[in-house]
Structure 1
Amino acid sequence: MVEVVMAIVTNNNKEVLIVRRAKSEGKLLWQFPGGTVEQNESIEKATIRELKEETGINGKVVKILGSRIHPYTKKHIAYVLCEYIGGEISISDPEIDQVQWAKINKLDQYFTTPIFEPVQEYLNSLL
């Protein structure tokens, strides 16, 4: 059962939306916006809710890119491709320290662990 969702949101400038946690989860400081799926909540609804809560951005689910047991957190995570609908970046979640659009070809400057392969393949296809 999926415990956590991550929203993969890109823009026309070959950038992807990332967040920096106020408190690092081990090696994980920067990551895609997301969070815990609540009881009786669909993956899609959880993704859109977490995206809005963490970033202020409105999105629409396109498809699930894949899921895995994360090698560090050991949580079952679904990676969900979302279309950017609108909204301005705003931080209202105390767990989030920073939100930004990062160049896809510069993600290795933010991420300290390898990006899940289906997500990386999708991002590479945009370059």
Structure 2
Amino acid sequence: MTKQSSTVQGISTAIIVDGERVLMIRRREREGKLLWAFPGGGIEAGETPEQAAVRETAEEVGLEVKAERVLGERVHPNTGRHMTYVACELISGKAVVGDEEEIAEVAWLTLAEIPDYVPYGLFGPVQAHLDAVLAKSS
């Protein structure tokens, strides 16, 4: 598990695949160019990125997931925020809009649909993970 610096709150996102689709959320408010994203949010004090991804997924979309591994970290080019991307296994639940103040919609997308929702492309390690996982399931 990765420890997050206590000086800067990072953002942890959950990359959740179910069958041939990956879960994305549409924000109510655009953040820079970002409108569609993966479920996630701020890493709380004492929390690892993996723990934050699991907690935020439950809060935002009502799914129980298990963190599998960190895919990568970066400073997001559109927001300047420190991001950690966590591959998560779906345990149970049905994706719903759990946080109506932040989220307008949830969608399960195929690999081919992602560019329509994220035209500027995904972070390389996330794209590589989805290419590998979604290619296996098709």
Query: Structure 2-normalised TM-score?
Result: 0.87
Q: Which residue of 2 aligns with 1:110?
A: 117
Shift of 1:59: 0.3
Q: After superposition, where does 1:1-127 map in structure 2 within 5 Å?
A: 1=5, 3-12=10-19, 14-93=20-99, 94-125=101-132, 126-127=134-135
**CA separation in 1, counterparts of 2:128 and 2:120?**
15
**CA separation in 1, counterparts of 2:24 and 2:126?**
13
What do residues 48-96 of structure 1 show as CA deviations (whole Å, max 9, x unaligned)? Answer: 0101111111100000001011111111100000000010122221100
Q: In structure 1, the residue corresponding to 2:95 is in which secondary structure?
A: coil
Report the residue type matching 1:61 in the other structure. A
Shift of 1:41: 1.3
**How many residues were matched structurally?**
126
Report the residue type matching 1:24 in the other structure. R
Report the residue type matching 2:16 in the other structure. V
**CA separation in 2, counterparts of 1:82 and 1:32?**
11
What do residues 6-43 of structure 1 show as CA deviations (whole Å, max 9, x unaligned)? Answer: 1000011x110000001111210001110100111111
Same amino acid, percent of matched pairs:
40
Shift of 1:113: 2.3
**CA separation in 1, counterparts of 2:78 and 2:116?**
19
The question of whether the paired residues in 2 share the 8 Å contact of 1:57 and 1:86 is answered with: yes
Task: Give ranges in structure 1 of 5+ residues lacking alignment.
Answer: none
The question of whether the paired residues in 2 share the 8 Å contact of 1:28 and 1:112 is answered with: no
Tell me the C-alpha RMSD between the 2 structures: 1.1
Shift of 1:122: 0.9
Task: Give ranges in structure 2 of 5+ residues lacking alignment.
Answer: none
The question of whether the paired residues in 2 share the 8 Å contact of 1:68 and 1:76 is answered with: yes
The question of whether the paired residues in 2 share the 8 Å contact of 1:28 and 1:113 is answered with: no
Q: In structure 2, the residue corresponding to 1:10 is in which secondary structure?
A: strand
**CA separation in 1, counterparts of 2:43 and 2:120?**
23
